[in-house]
Amino acid sequence: MDAAAPTPPAFPSIRREAYPLIAWLGFLALVLAWLWTPLFWLGLAATLLAIYAFRDPERIAPADAAAVLSPADGRVKSVDRAVPPAELQLGSDKRIRIALAVGPFDVRVNRAPIAGTVAQLVHRPRSRARPARGETRADVEQNALAIVSGRSSIGVVQNGGVVPRSIRSLVAEGDAVTAGQRFGLLAFGSEVDLYLPADAAVTVVAGQTALAGETILARLAK
């Protein structure tokens, strides 16, 4: 009996939330072509970039209850300690903060770093107010959520870009989430911050590449 032919890998599905943006960019490409043909290629490149960025590949979360998974695709920008945003209600003590830089070619789907319950979910629109002293991201859109699991709690902050309404939440306060579950989209964002308990053991260093829902960034203390 002949062996079955291998099935070629399928291209990841595209998030339906991105359809309006992709359609708008495609229409813009046609308008640019009508104005000046060489501009069409610029519009086409932007359309293809949007399609690529909003792909939604399947991810397999490691079977490790203590693991804290990366909430976003990107590069580990820094590992330091900072007080989490007050709206997360995670206390005023400094926690371990892992900042992830999301590049233009990275997947825009964000995933839950641990299993638990969404205890807080606060959205802050972009503000043109002058940042407070020591604050560098007050002028960008933010979506912050706290996930509680047993005695552990972590915070995730999506930092959007200069384009309004660039963050989309796929969960609500009180929802139960599993590790690696999709919880949001970061359309034009540039960074996702993760706030961990002070006794968590970090397993990554600055400069390392991470995949949402798969890469282990740290392990919680037992």
* Residues 204-219 pLDDT 10s: 999 999 999 999 999 9
**Dihedrals φ, ψ of 217, to 5°?**
-90, -30
Please, are residues 101 and 186 in contact by the beta-carbon 8 Å criterion? no
Token pair for residue 91? 């206390």
Residue 16 DSSP one-character state: G
Which residue in the list 70, 153, 166, 190 is annotated as catalytic? Answer: 190
Give the whole-angstrom CA distance, residue 108 versus residue 125: 19
Range with lowest mean pLDDT among 40-54, 58-72, 132-146: 132-146
SS3 159: strand
CA dihedral 12, 168, 103, 129 (to 10 degrees): 170
Whether 190 is catalytic is yes
For residues 44-61, give the mean pLDDT. Answer: 90
> How many other CB atoms are there within 10 angstroms of residue 158's CB atom?
27
Give the domain ranges of the chain: 13-56, 67-128+137-219
For residues 122-146, give the mean pLDDT. Answer: 69
Range with lowest mean pLDDT among 1-5, 72-76, 164-168: 1-5
Q: Residue 200: what residue type?
A: A
The domain 67-128+137-219 is placed in CATH, from the list 1.20.120.160, 2.60.120.620, 2.70.70.10, 1.10.10.10, at 2.70.70.10
**Residue 200 confidence class, pLDDT cut points 50, 70, 90:** very high
Does the pLDDT value for residue 52 go beyond 80? yes
